[in-house]
Amino acid sequence: MIEAVDNAMLELQHALSVRMMYPPGKHVQTCQERVCEMVQQILQHQRKLDVFVLDDRVIFDDRTLPSSVNLVNGLFGLLYRSGVDRITFHQGLEIEEIRLLLDELADCKIEGSKRLQATPHVIFSFIRQIDAADSTPPQSPHQVLDGREMTVDVNSLWRDIDVGEGLNVEMLTDIVTNIIRAVSDHSDIMLPLVTLKRHDEYSFVHVINVAILSTTLSESLGFDDTGVHEMCIAALLHDIGKQHIPRELLNKKGRLTNEELQQIQMHPVEGARMLLSTPGMPELAPIVAFEHHVCANGGGYPKVPQDWQLNLASRMVQIVDVFDALRTHRPYRQGLSLPQIIEIFQSDMNACFDADLLDVFFQHIIPRYHPEMVDVIEAQP
Ligand SMILES: [Fe+2]
Ligand SMILES: [Fe+2]
């Protein structure tokens, strides 16, 4: 499949060159038809074709396209300069949409950059983490969270915490508002970031993913506006206690020593302490930070009294947290497939996870963000 995607992207790039060089006519049209056919063929095997730029690579399905360098210097470089680093084709794609796409890209090439207009089956989005110092933001992309603005904010937020300036609650509120709006509007947020592999992006990616999924889960469980808002904040901050754990330790490939394990297992307590001392922080945030690794049967960490009742929000974040961690590639292991993840959840269900919540999560939340996984979920007993 990767060769087919590579060829289709090269063909799209070629069609753009032809569109730029030749007047409208047979040759231009033939190229458009060829692109459309190639993409449609790929879409016979999957619901959507999702290709994005990461650093200097073009990625499809967690793999670098063979013609990555060529594409980054051409088509994807052009998209990137227009504030887009991801293009997604959906089933139902029509030739007219390819024609419009090429018109848009051609305008973009002439004008330097422009806001690209999506069509029903061709969606652009922006996912990358950028340097907050980048002072020339393009127009906001559509169909996603306002990625650039939000990303800058999150970077600043993390940096403030890192340098000990505390938590900027106002900034946090903006991020939360953006996530909730996108979740409620059913914007095409996706969870693309889970495919990023560089560790320094992991924490950022992980908290955003956990916040998006937890917020969606809280909405689908009928939380009121305040509940959804507080859930989103709590999810964003659940791992905040990891801020002072050295990166090398978080990524260590080999077995952890007892001291190292203890250090990592302190992050819920550290996080809860930090959040408790932050003015304006909803009560739920320190609770979730403290409880998100405590199992329903009292296992996990930190140790809690035997009759401890876990908050519903903690149980929700726990599922989402584990799901995202298992899906993601980490330095010490590859991301797992959905069947493998489901197996892990099922084998652990009674000990740790809430069966009803798991049901809602896999039946209603995952299909929204990972439609390609529906078949796997439906095949479960
Ligand atoms: Fe954690
Ligand atoms: Fe986490």
Say how many Å lie between the CA of residue 381 and the centre of ligand 1. Answer: 30
- Give percent of the chain above pLDDT 70: 75
DSSP 306-374: TTPPPPHHHHHHHHHHHHHHHHS-BTTBPPPPHHHHHHHHHHHTTTTS-HHHHHHIIIIIHHHH-GGGH
- Annotated domain spans of the chain: 2-125, 147-378
CA neighbor of 86 nearest in space, from 193, 2, 181, 172? 193
SS3 251: coil
pTM for the structure as a whole: 0.59
Q: What is the pLDDT of residues 140-171, one digit of tens each?
A: 222 233 333 344 345 455 555 544 455 666 66
Say how many Å lie between the CA of residue 88 and the centre of ligand 1. Answer: 32
CA angle in degrees (0–180, nearest 5) for 43-49-51: 155
Identify the band that residue 202 occupies on the pLDDT scale cut at 50, 70 and 90: low
Ligand nearest to the CA of 207: 2
Residues present in the chain in total: 381
Say how many Å lie between the CA of residue 130 and the centre of ligand 1. Answer: 24
Say how many Å lie between the CA of residue 292 and the centre of ligand 1. Answer: 6
Contact by Cβ (8 Å): 307, 201:
no
CA neighbor of 201 nearest in space, from 233, 266, 155, 138? 155
Q: Determine the average pLDDT of the residues in 183-195.
A: 48
What span, in angstroms and rounded, lies between the C-alpha atoms of 217 and 206?
Answer: 16
What span, in angstroms and rounded, lies between the C-alpha atoms of 29 and 262?
Answer: 64
Q: Which CATH number fits domain 147-378: 1.10.3210.10, 1.20.1250.20, 3.40.50.720, 3.40.50.880?
A: 1.10.3210.10
Identify the band that residue 190 occupies on the pLDDT scale cut at 50, 70 and 90: very low
Ligand nearest to the CA of 269: 1
> Residue 310's CB: how many other CB atoms inside 10 A?
19
CA neighbor of 100 nearest in space, from 8, 5, 16, 13? 16
Q: Determine the average pLDDT of the residues in 8-31.
A: 85
CA neighbor of 72 nearest in space, from 89, 51, 100? 51
Say how many Å lie between the CA of residue 324 and the centre of ligand 2. Answer: 8
Say how many Å lie between the CA of residue 239 and the centre of ligand 2. Answer: 5
Tokens in use for 208? Answer: 């955003």
Ligand nearest to the CA of 271: 1
